[in-house]
Each structure stands twice: as structure tokens, then as C-alpha cells.
Amino acid sequence: MHAAAQDEDHDEIFPCVPAPEDGARWQAPTDVEQYLYKVTRSDDSYAYLRTLAIEGVYYPVRLDEGQAAGGTPAGTRPMLTIDTPDGRTVLQVYTAGVLPRPHPYLVYEYTTLGALAQTAPDGVDVLAVNAATPCEQYFLVSDEEREVWLDLHHELFSPDDLMDRVVTRRTGAPAPGPLLHGLACGAHLCFRNGDAWNTLHWHGMGYSGEAERIADDWGVHSREDWLETEERLLGQDVSPWYWDFVLGARTALLRSRGGGRVDPGQWRDTVEATVRARAQENGTPAGDPDFAGFVAHLRDLVGQVLRYEARFRADGLLPPDGLVRTVAAWDIGRGSKMARWGRGARYATEAEMHAAIERAAAAARAAYDSWEEFSAGYVLGRCLHFDEEEFGPWYTTVLDAHRALTTDPDSPWRTVPFKDPAPGA
């Protein structure tokens, strides 16, 4: 089931971006379109094609036809074409930055230039790229031209090169406020996936790509699944409760003594005593073997946290005396992206996506005091979930994200204040 969003009907079916006035410089949505604008003005169509081969393109598909084609490769979805008065057939494709606000009856699918060479319908005469924008370009389609596209794809396309980068929209992003802050909460995943972190008009990997992403990784196959998963993420109910229970025990000890350091043995004993007291209140037999194993796991978790924090300090992810108070960011950050993924898969309405992103912002600000602290909580949650103290790619890739997001001038963590400034500040 998809979101019933007839109330969101609008006329922004295809991109329409006015050209700048004579002599004015056009500010493109992203650096990709800015470069394409530059090469169109120099009439360098080959450089334009090379960029498309690197980045890929999106093509429009009627939503009902996209749904009916579920399970088939995205590149085989029926492509919309337009017949011109002079008898030519035109296929429209777009780069990510110019894509319009999602429409309730039309979606965009992602494809590579190489796949387009093989799947563009027979009879197409013209490929229109970014039509009705200042960076538009048109290519006559022939068998020889398709061969050029395919050769460029083999030479230039690398999915890995599209990942692990900070991408920022220059235009069309929300103004400072809860929405922008909530978008920034998903910056780890935006960096990893190579997505513009401040894009609200979400298309992601294309309609079928977004649906497949959350189906394969999250078991989300319907609007109902998305609503449940989003609520659990924003309620910080996906990660095991006992991670924050263990961290909270240390926080309580620190508070009781007014700061300083906590002896690991005392921390373990406090965790065990507290969980045993709760179990006794709930009627759990003290000698239950499963409960004894759980207590041992919690004691071991103290050591895991200490070893991860030591590595975080050595790698500059935490300050020399820094600690992680909560892993809430692991669910909050994923909740920020799940809101967008659900919109891309058409399980969420625009209003629902906005509300979820704003909730992510509020939850992050309630749990942390800075982006660096938020990031450390996110990284620890990811490591506890996946890494198993191997300090392998599950750790090193998110460490790369942390370093980029805390240093890149375009990063949300350098441009979006974590806390609202005090009145009069």
C-alpha cells in the first residue's frame, strides 16, 4: 500500500528552472549542474556526456506503471517519451539536483548512461537532458551514439566513487530551523550513500531503488511497515535497550560523585546490581540460566564500551577525556534517513516526512549538546550493532564520515548550529 497523497497534487511534474537574466550568473542546485551549465556554455557536449556517465540520470515513470513493474530491473521500467510536432520522439532524463518535488502520480527512476544505451526505447530520436533548465543539452540518438554512451560508462562509471562524499544543495534547501537540523541528523548515511544531505524533494536511488533498499535492509514492504519502523526509530526502540542502560549506569555513578572517572569494576557491579534488582521486582528467578547469561553479557558490554571509547579518543572521534553518554543517535540518524527513504518509496506523504525529520531534530537536541557528541553516539551504536570489536570497515567507514563531516566547509555540522542560539545572542 502506498501513501494516499492526493492532497499533495501539484503541477511540478517535470523540472522547470528559469534561465538567469542576461549577464547574471546562474546558481545551480548542486556542483554537478553547475559544471554542466559551464560546459553547455562552452558547447562541450562530450564533457557533458562524461559527467552523465559518472553520475547517472533519472527518467520519469508513471507511478501506476512503476508499481505494476515491481520486481523488474529499474532500467526496464516503461519510459515516458514525447512526440514533437516535427515527428521526432524525445526521451527526457535529468540529473539529481534538478529533480522536482515528488508527485503523487509520477516517479523518477535512476539509471546509468550505459544502461540507458541499452534500454532507451527503439524509435527515440533525441535524448533531452535537463530540459527546461539552464543546463539543458540535447543529443541525437543513433546506434553509434548509444555505443559512445556504453563506452563512456565502461570507462567512467564506478558506484564506489559516488559514495563517501559530502554533497550539499546550493539552492532549494529548507531554511534554518527544525527541518534543516533534522536533515543534518542523517548526515552519516548521506555521506556514505553520496546523497545531498539537505535535499527535501527526495528521490534517492529512484523509486524502485528506494523501495528495494528498505525492503532488503529493513524488511519494509508497505506503508504500514514504514510507519511502524519510523516510529520505532524515532522512539529509539530499534537498538537494544540495554546499551543505554549500561551507559546510563556510568552516568549515574558520575553524577553521584560529581564527575571524575568511574572504576570499571564498580561500573560492572552497579550494572549487575541494578538489573538484578529489577529482575527481582519482575519475579525473575535469581538462578535462571538465561538471566545469568544476560547479566554476564552486560558486564562484558562495559569492557566493550571502554575499548571502543579508547579507540575513539586515539582516532580523534572523542576528546581526550570524552565519553559516550547515549547511543540514541544510532536510531535518530537512521530515523532521519528512513523518513526520506519512505518518501522515495511513496510510503510516506510529504507532511509525514517533514514531521518525522523534525522529530529527529528534537530527539537529537534532547540527547546531545553538539554534532561531535551526536556523531560519537552514532558511531558507538553502529559498532555495537555490526563491528564486534574488529575495528574493520563498519568502524573505519563511519570514522571517515565523522572526519569529513566535522571538517568539510559544506558539511551540515559546520553550517547548522546544533542548538538554537540563546535569545539576544
Q: Is residue 323 part of a domain?
A: no
Q: Is residue 143 part of a domain?
A: yes
| 30-48 residue pLDDT tens | 999 999 999 999 999 999 9
Query: Nearest to residue 327, comparing CAs of 400, 264, 236, 249?
Result: 236
**227 and 334 share one domain:** yes
**79 and 17 share one domain:** yes
| 102-127 residue pLDDT tens | 999 999 999 999 999 999 999 999 99
Domain final residue, candidates 263, 287, 314? 314
Domain final residue, candidates 108, 138, 162? 162
CA of 348: how far to CAs of 16, 58, 70, 113, 342, in Å? 25, 21, 18, 30, 5
Q: Is residue 113 part of a domain?
A: yes
| pLDDT for 185 | 98
**34 and 147 share one domain:** yes
**Cell digits of residue 260:** 571524575
- The residues facing 167 across adjacent strands are 196
What is the Cα–Cα distance from 99 to 39, expressed in whole angstroms? 20
Domain final residue, candidates 108, 137, 162? 162
Q: Is residue 421 part of a domain?
A: no
- The residues facing 140 across adjacent strands are 126
**226 and 94 share one domain:** no
Q: Is residue 173 part of a domain?
A: no
How many separate domains does the chain show? 3
**280 and 398 share one domain:** no
**233 and 354 share one domain:** yes
Per-residue b or e along 276-291, where b marks 16 or more CB atoms closer than 10 Å to that residue's CB: eeebeeeeeeeeeeee
Contact of 300 with 308, CB cutoff 8 Å:
no
What is the pTM assigned to this prediction? 0.94
Query: Nearest to residue 370, comparing CAs of 416, 304, 425?
Result: 416
Cβ partners under 8 Å of residue 249, min gap 6 = 267, 270, 271, 274
| pLDDT for 168 | 97
Query: Nearest to residue 262, comparing CAs of 305, 202, 298?
Result: 305
DSSP codes of every residue in 99-113: --S-BTTEEEEEE-H
| pLDDT for 71 | 65
**348 and 223 share one domain:** yes
Determine the structural domain holding residue 132 and report its residue range.
6-162
**266 and 119 share one domain:** no
**53 and 136 share one domain:** yes
Q: Is residue 341 part of a domain?
A: yes
Contact of 98 with 130, CB cutoff 8 Å:
yes
User: Could you state, in chain order, the average pLDDT of each consecutive group of 10 residues for the chain (425 residues)?
Assistant: 63 90 90 97 96 98 85 70 94 97 94 96 96 97 98 98 97 96 98 97 96 97 97 97 97 88 95 92 82 95 98 97 97 98 96 97 98 98 96 97 97 94 56
**190 and 84 share one domain:** no
What is the Cα–Cα distance from 298 to 319, expressed in whole angstroms? 25
Q: Is residue 425 part of a domain?
A: no
CA of 162: how far to CAs of 114, 150, 156, 193, 195, in Å? 16, 18, 11, 7, 9
DSSP codes of every residue in 179-196: HHHHHHTTHHHHHHHT-B
**186 and 275 share one domain:** no
Q: Is residue 388 part of a domain?
A: yes
**228 and 245 share one domain:** no
What is the Cα–Cα distance from 211 to 208, expressed in whole angstroms? 5
